[in-house]
Amino acid sequence: MASIREASKVQLLVSNTEVKAAKELHLETRLAQLRDDKRRIRREFNELKFAGSPSEARQQCYNEEIKDLDDEINTITLKLGSLSDPNSTHE
CB 19 within 8 A of CB 86: yes
Q: What is the pLDDT of residue 91?
A: 40
Q: Residue 30, Cβ neighbours under 10 Å: how many?
A: 15
| Overall pTM > 0.95 | no
User: Residue 54: which H helix or E strand, with range?
Assistant: none
Tens-digit pLDDT profile for residues 28-73: 999 999 999 999 999 999 998 888 888 999 999 999 999 999 999 9
With cut-offs at 50, 70 and 90, classify the pLDDT of residue 86: low
Q: What is the pLDDT of residue 10?
A: 87
